[in-house]
Amino acid sequence: MSQALPTKEPLPAKEVSPTARFWAEFRESKVAVGALVVVVLMLGVAIFAPLVAPQNPYDLANLVLMDARRPPGFIGSAGYTHILGTDAQGRDLFSAILYGLRISLQMGLIAGSLAFTVGVTLGVGAAYLGGRWEAFIMRVVDLQLAFPAILLALVLSALLGQGKTQLIAALAAAQYAYFARTAHGAASAERSKDYVEAVLSTPLPAWRVVLKHIFPNCLPPLIVVATVQVASAIALEATLSFLGVGLPVTEPSLGMLISNGFQYMLSGRYWISIYPGIALIVLIVAINLVGDRIRDQVNPRLKR
Amino acid sequence: MLGHILGRLGQALLVMLVMSALVFVGVYAIGNPIDVLIGPDVSQDIRLDTIARYGLDQPLYVQYFTFLGRILQGDFGRSFVFGMPVLDLILSRLPATLELTLAAVCGAALIGIPAGIYAGYRPDGLAAKAIMTISILGFSVPTFWIGLVLIIAFAVELQWLPAGGRGETFAVFGVEWSFLTANGLSHLLLPAANLAFFKLALMTRLARAGTREAMLSDTVKFARAAGLSEWTVLRRHVLRLIAIPLVTVFGLEFASTLAFAVVTETIFSWPGIGKLIIDSITSLDRPVMVAYLMLVSFVFIMINFLVDLAYVGLDPRLRRAGSR
């Protein structure tokens, strides 16, 4: 494809599906493929944490206080090496990180999906309805975008109280506006196209037009926003848990592990905080790199 | 023009009113403030008396209007924990936060803009690529994590800088400032660097994108054709072209940095309003929470309002549209 001029190349004999073409293009960036591998790997160990981890860090019977706060490489009383050391309760840090990754990913994905659903419904709905509703919804969304997400999440989790459900609600409420903004932009561009007018003149119900015709065409930019927002939901959750207003102590996410280790850091026991932090950063940076690549692919200005 | 400003001002007031209602209902209607105010073992008489004294037996809308009336007189109530008027409490903590935020935003601009211009000027150079990689990290890595790394590196391992507190302060007109003493400055350095990191990434990316576009503009072409040195072209023309978006972002970011300061202040035990709100959330100090939320909403709405005005001032097209 050269520039914007339409070329009259004959169609290739074999039809390539858009997904396959997308994947072939994605593979051209080695960094992005590497990042994707990291994301998939981390998802894998998070899902199968009970099988991968050397101990169940939250079964009190497994914990030996004598093993507490040992540096990486320490061979504990259970006979295996704590490759990343142990925390203040004698927990194997590697196992704790795997379980923490599980909770962090879970929170990020659930909050991200919720924000996606609410935001896209509002954004596409506003673009479809038009008029006063559109003005009202987008005004509220714009207003909310003026406030940083961290402040909203902080305030909401303070008001709603601690708990998994409350935190998911707070994260989603802080993030849905980004989806709504993007969906509205894409959907209003689609709304004014001829094919939508054509489908609307048929007796098909409106919801079908929105769901089957407008929504799929808004997907590419939304996927980009979704990857970035899942990463930022994970970071936000970690920040809130670190500040002590996020998840309850019974749900130790990566943020809480870092927070637990913080008090030992000044005495030089860096590993209790540092390793969960590295896991968190690798996850977030990897997701963002994948998102960056997809953004470049979706952006028509960068098309060769 | 005047109509436009009045319209925006009306909108800002309306938003403020909505925010006050949300904050009031959110903070005062959830949970029972009486349990925080008095112990569980006091007599029924005192209990009823306290409820009546705080007006908690009134219907919600009456309570809301009483609350609104007090706020308009500058009375945010008393902190449950500190026992002093909330407004005084917040004002006594505000300079610390302002100092930290200003240091962070200015530092980010002073380093980020030149770095971004350079990266945009030589986009394929090795230095430019390094700058962009660091800026991606700055975007991705959570603020609190950078704070931890800074503490480990500079406070624990190297022991160059203190890890917490404000250090010595110097009073100017009754307000204590840290940056005026050497000791205070050394305390300010780490938290400011921490807070600046994210903004630095943002400023760098903005400056780079702006410069790349500006380098292709006719202005730069003609300036070069006129024989101006590259340095003069960058300083006199490119910097001016990218200034407007940077100034806007600078203003907006200043507001959001105030909010981000919550995290940094907690890590470095910096006694500003961010630390105050976290403490008040954990100790259920409702009047402080309400006052903080109202104050931050007010700052945000004001800054958005001012940025809107600045747009009208900077962009002649908007000015004409308003006067028609």
| pLDDT per residue as tens, chain B (324 positions) | 677 778 778 877 888 888 788 777 777 655 566 666 666 677 778 777 777 776 667 777 887 888 788 878 877 777 777 778 888 888 888 888 888 888 888 888 888 888 888 888 887 778 887 887 778 777 778 888 888 888 888 877 777 777 777 766 666 666 677 676 777 777 888 888 888 887 888 888 888 888 887 877 787 788 888 877 888 878 777 877 777 777 777 777 777 787 778 888 888 888 888 888 888 877 777 778 888 888 887 887 787 777 777 766 666 565 555 443
* Residue B208 shares a structural domain with residue B172: yes
Tell me if chain B has a CB within 8 Å of the CB of A74: no
Q: Please report residues of A whose CB lies closer than 8 A to that of B143.
A: 239
Q: Is residue B181 part of a domain?
A: yes
Q: Does A232 fall in a domain?
A: yes
The shortest CB-CB distance from B148 to any of A143, A148, A277 is to A277
Residue A78 lies in a domain: no
Do the chains contact at B137 and A285, CB–CB below 8 Å?
yes
Measured N-to-C along each axis, helices A149-160 and B286-314 cross at an angle, to the nearest 10 degrees, of 160
Q: Is residue B207 part of a domain?
A: yes
Let me know whether B38 and B103 are in one domain.
Answer: no
User: pLDDT per residue over B84-98, tens digit each?
Assistant: 888 888 888 888 888
Q: Using one digit for the tens of pLDDT, what is the confidence trace for A251-271? A: 788 888 888 877 777 776 777
Q: Which domain holds residue A142?
A: 85-299
Q: For residue A13, give the DSSP letter.
A: S
Look at residue A209 in the predicted model and tell me its pLDDT.
81
Q: Collect all residues of chain B within an 8 Å Cβ-Cβ radius of residue A288.
A: 136, 139-140
Choosing from B21, B40, B72, the residue where a domain stops is B72
Number of structural domains found in chain B: 2
Q: Between chains, do A146 and B304 touch, taking CB under 8 Å as contact?
A: yes
Interface of A with B in 176-195 (CB under 8 A): none
Cβ-contact B264, B270 below 8 angstroms: yes
Question: What integer pLDDT is reported at residue A206 of this predicted model?
Answer: 79
For residue A169, give both structure tokens.
Answer: 């609600």
Q: For chain A, percent helix, then strand, then coil, each to nearest 5?
A: 70, 0, 25
Same domain, B316 and B203: yes
Q: Using the beta-carbon criterion (under 8 Å), do B156 and A266 form an inter-chain contact?
A: yes
Tokens of B109: 């601009």
Residue A105 lies in a domain: yes
Contact A266 B262 (CB under 8 A): no
In a domain, B145, yes or no: yes
If asked whether residues B164 and B277 sit together in one domain, one would say yes
Query: B145: distance to nearest CA of chain A, Å?
Result: 7
User: Could B152 and A274 be called an inter-chain contact, meaning their C-beta atoms sit closer than 8 Å?
Assistant: yes
- Judge if B153 and B32 occupy the same domain: no
Contact A236, A246 (CB under 8 A): no
Parallel, antiparallel or unpaired: strands B175-177 and A74-75 = unpaired
For chain A, which residues score pLDDT lower than 50? 1-2, 304
B248 and B157 in a common domain: yes
Q: Are B68 and B201 members of one domain?
A: no
Whether residue B6 sits in one domain with residue B106: no
Partner residue facing B142 (CB), from A158, A239, A266: A239
Same-domain pairing of B101 and B61: no
Residue A29 included in any domain: no
Asked if the structure places residue A117 within a domain, the reply is yes
- A158–B289 CB contact, under 8 Å: yes
Token pair listed for A80: 């295996």
State the complex-level ipTM.
0.72
The pLDDT, as a whole number, for residue A115 is: 93
- Cα-based torsion angle of the residue sequence A55, A56, A57, A62 in order, rounded to the nearest 10 degrees: -70
Pick from B20, B40, B72: which residue ends a domain?
Answer: B72
What is the CATH number for A261?
Answer: 1.10.3720.10
Q: What is the pLDDT of residue A113?
A: 94
Within an 8 Å CB–CB cutoff, is residue A66 touching chain B? Answer: no
The reply to whether B95 and B68 lie within a common domain is no
* Residue A76, domain member (yes or no): no
Burial B100-131 (b: 16+ CB within 10 A, else e): bbebbbebbbeebbebbbbbbbeeeeeebeeb
Q: What is the pLDDT of residues B100-128, one digit of tens each?
A: 888 888 888 888 888 888 888 887 778 88
Mark whether B112 and B63 lie in a shared domain.
no
CB B266 within 8 A of CB B275: yes
Q: Is the pTM of this model over 0.90?
A: no
Number of domains comprising chain A: 1
**Paired strand residues for B170:** B177
Whole domain around residue B246: which residue ranges? 90-323
Best of B143, B148, B277, B301 to substitute, by most chain A Cβ atoms within 10 angstroms, is B148
CATH number at residue B163: 1.10.3720.10
Q: Count of CB contacts below 8 A, A vs B? A: 90
Q: What is the pLDDT of residue A61?
A: 67
Residue A76: its pLDDT value, please?
66
> Is the residue at A34 inside a domain?
no
Q: What's the CA angle centered on B109, arms B266 and B158, to 5 degrees?
A: 50
Q: Is residue A130 part of a domain?
A: yes
DSSP A131: H
Q: How far apart are CA A238 and CA A255, in angstroms?
A: 4
